[in-house]
Amino acid sequence: MAKKVLVIDDEKSMCAMLQDALESQSYSAKTVSNFELAKKILDDQDIDLVITDIFMPETDGFEIIDLIRTDFPSIKLIAMTGGGLFGAKDIVVKLVKEQGVDAYLLKPFTVGEFLEVVKDVVS
């Protein structure tokens, strides 16, 4: 059975690219652009992996990470960031690691890098 992956990012082009990449490797992928839609899917479906952007207009990935670690601790988690408002990626990476994610990706990244991290996390 295909692993179920939920991608959360406010950039539609990023969602489309990641969904295509995941589906090309036989993952079942859904994409959403905000916290409320993500929460609904997490409540209604069995998800194996969540991949979330950290900085989004309506919410931030830290809220999503906290929800998953509290309410869905068995779900694997990958965080993505380009640095956002902090600007300094090393500060963001430190914060992400402290949240207990399974892996992180620094934007920009290649599809190959993305798929390698996904494979490592779900295996």
Residue 123 in any domain: the answer is no
What local confidence, expressed as pLDDT, does residue 114 receive?
98
Task: Classify residue 42: in a domain, yes or no.
Answer: yes
Q: Is 34 inside any structural domain? A: yes
Whether 75 is covered by a domain: the verdict is yes
Report the CATH number that the domain containing residue 95 is assigned in CATH: 3.40.50.2300
Phi, psi of 55, deg, nearest 5: -110, 115
What is the model's pTM? 0.91
Total count of domains within the chain? 1
Residue 39 is predicted with a pLDDT of 95
Least Cα distance to 76 among 112, 104, 38, 107 occurs for 104
* Cβ atoms 38, 63 nearer than 8 A: no
Strand order in the sheet with 76-81: 28-32, 4-8, 49-53, 76-81, 103-106
- Which domain does 60 fall in, by range? 4-118
CA-CA distances (angstroms) from residue 30 to 9, 17, 60? 11, 12, 19
Residue-wise pLDDT for 50-104, tens only, equals 999 988 887 878 899 999 999 999 999 999 987 655 555 666 667 677 888 999 8
DSSP 72: -
